Structure 1
Amino acid sequence: MKPVDQYFLSQKEPYQSIMLYVRNVILNTLPHVVERYSYKIPFYNIGKKPMVYLNILKGKDYVDVVFVHGVLLENDFPVLKNDNNRKQVRSIQLKAIEDLDQENFEQLLHAAAENTRKGKKAWFL
């Protein structure tokens, strides 16, 4: 079993179901994306550049769906939040699968993929 699969299966509910659902949407929306296990969490890359990652922050009760170039996307996608005053990344916090607007999320994934492809560096700030 791949480390990323072990990561998902080791999560408690409802986090496991949320993460598996988000993973499925990402992989079906962007079939060319590369799923990797880095820094002990799942990342979704365009080529070698990270685009989005999934995390559960200690002391929080949600799955953090984090967009690496989120600062460039937040004006067009107000669902993105600047949690913890992060410079570059922005995220969607999901407490339940129903919290995800799949159509808007798919549009966000396409925009994030385009930004990642065009960007010279993954981490620019």
Structure 2
Amino acid sequence: MDNSDHYYLSKEEPIQGCILALKEIIMQQDNEVVHAIKWGIPSFSFRGKNFCFISIDKKTKWPYLLFHEGLLLQHPELEQKDRKLMKSFSMNPNEDLPLETIELLINSALDLYKSGQVKTKK
């Protein structure tokens, strides 16, 4: 079991199933997406630049996607909270994942990097 597996498998259901599904959804959006555990949470990069993370809210215990360049993303369900650059999208782990919204947000974030609006390392 590697560090990545340990992170996911250390969580209880329904969180575990939710974050494993999120990981798969993110990885399926583009073959250049790379997964790693950074800062103790799942991190996803594209062409050498972090673009999103999976984290769990300490109060609600709900998983959320945190978009590194979220300030550039416009969607009514994204929350900025007290962050300067990032925005998040929370999900209730006891409900079906909003697959269409998740894919839209991930692809919108990736488009920022593909278009050159956000510079990549490659």
Q: What range is the shorter-chain TM-score in?
A: 0.7 to 0.9
C-alpha distance in 1 between matches for 2:67 and 2:109: 7
Change (3 A) 1:97 1:88: farther
Long gaps (5+) in structure 2: none
What's 2:102 paired with? 105
What's 1:79 paired with? 77
What's 2:61 paired with? 61
Please tell me the root mean square deviation across aligned C-alpha atoms, in Å: 1.9
Q: Which deviates more, 36-45 or 107-116?
A: 107-116
Percent identity over paired residues? 29
Give the secondary-structure state (helix, strand or coil) at the position aligned to 1:87.
coil
- Deviation of 1:116 (Å): 2.9
C-alpha distance in 2 between matches for 1:79 and 1:59: 19
Give the secondary-structure state (helix, strand or coil) at the position aligned to 2:85.
coil
Q: TM-score, normalised by structure 1?
A: 0.84
C-alpha distance in 1 between matches for 2:100 and 2:76: 14
Q: Which deviates more, 51-60 or 38-47?
A: 51-60
Higher helix share: 1
- Deviation of 1:121 (Å): 6.9
Instruction: Give every structure 1 segment of 4 or more consecutive aligned residues whose post-TM-superposition deviation is greater than 6 Å.
Output: none
